[in-house]
Amino acid sequence: MGVTHNQLIAMLAVVDCGTFDRAAGKLNLTQSTITKRVQELEASMGFSVFDRSKRQAILTIQGEQFVSLARDTVASFENLTSFNPDKKAAFSHIRLGVTELSSLTWLPKFLESSFAENPNIQFELTIDMSRSLLGSLEDGELDIIVVPEMPFQSNAHVQQIVGVEIALIGKPGLVPTGRKIEVSNLREFEIITQGKTSGFSKSIRDWFSSYGLSTRNNVRVDSLHAMVGLAAAGRGVCIAPRDYLVPLIESGRVAEILTKPKLPAVNYCVMHYPTTHEQLFSRVENDIKCAVDFSTPYFI
């Protein structure tokens, strides 16, 4: 029995995802199908690709050598199948995950320009909290995500794209103009943050914690606009991207509350896990890096 393309794809998915279960999710197959294809491949080759004594999908020495050849083989096969004598671009489908802030700022223009320049690349979008997006990426349900910086697996391909300045926002008159509040004194305010699956809010909560301030008992919502609305209504103060809120600050509908020390920036990243589509994903991520601008609301 010879080695098949599907067997190679299954094996590489396990390598890239780290487990047979995640590989099954990525390829939209059952775990038993993935296992069968890998076992058939190993039987054909006459050696074990994975060390079955480990919980994770750890490659054997022969497996490590074989994977490099397998990637080249799969890439060559894809080049053959994408060959077009009319020199038309091959169609590509990318599952992209972003947080709410991206959808309200740079994403719509990026999609417009991307379609105009690369009409054969279609994006399937997921807009969710950053930790949920990371989980979907690890489970093989997404290809690329744009999220605040957080702990990633060691094999992740990560590019930092921009640091987002943040600010404390509240109802006008809540604090005298120009007065700076010690961060440790913010416990007297009701702080509105996004939920536990928000990487943005987690980074701020961790920073607050270093100053002895906890936000565990305060208001949590999953919508940026809901947070700002509650703050404008005097329900509390919220942490939000400063540049995005400049129009509201300048109009006097909300006020920026200055803190001492100044709130830290939140770094955003674009990332994916190893894939046979490395060249395409890297190109798309570079396009995203050039397009990202969290400072301008798309709808204002």
Q: Is the pLDDT of residue 114 over 90?
A: no
DSSP summary character for residue 223: -
**CB count, 10 Å around CB of 252?**
8
For 132-194, give the secondary structure using H, E and C.
Answer: HHHHHHHCCCCCEEEEECCCCCCCCEEEEEEEECEEEEECCCCCCCCCEEEHHHHHHCCEEEC
Q: For residues 37-65, b (16+ Cβ closer than 10 Å) or e, as one string?
A: bbebbbeeeeeebbeeeeeebebeeebee
Q: Is the pLDDT of residue 200 over 90?
A: no
pLDDT at residue 300 in the model: 56
pTM: 0.67
Least reliable range by pLDDT among 31-40, 201-210, 236-245: 201-210
CA dihedral (102, 103, 106, 107) positive or negative: positive
| Percent of the chain at pLDDT exceeding 90 | 21
Q: Is the pLDDT of residue 14 over 80?
A: yes
Do 89 and 115 meet the contact criterion of CB atoms below 8 Å apart?
Answer: no
pLDDT at residue 218 in the model: 62
- Distance in angstroms (rounded) separating the CA atoms of residues 269 and 263: 19
CA atoms within 13 A on the CB side of 81: 9
Q: Is the pLDDT of residue 85 over 60?
A: no
Q: Is the pLDDT of residue 60 over 80?
A: yes
Strand partners, 93: 122
Q: Is the pLDDT of residue 98 over 80?
A: yes
Quickly state the pLDDT bin for 80 (edges 50, 70, 90): low
Q: Is the pLDDT of residue 216 over 60?
A: no
pLDDT, mean of residues 25-37: 87
pLDDT, mean of residues 256-263: 88
pLDDT at residue 83 in the model: 57
pLDDT one-digit tens code per residue, 176-192: 777 888 887 887 888 88
pLDDT, mean of residues 118-134: 89
DSSP tally for the chain: helices H, then strands E: 11, 10
Sheet of strand 191-192, all strands in order from the earlier edge strand to the far edge: 180-182, 255-260, 166-170, 237-241, 191-192
pLDDT one-digit tens code per residue, 266-295: 899 999 988 878 888 988 999 999 999 988
pLDDT at residue 77 in the model: 74
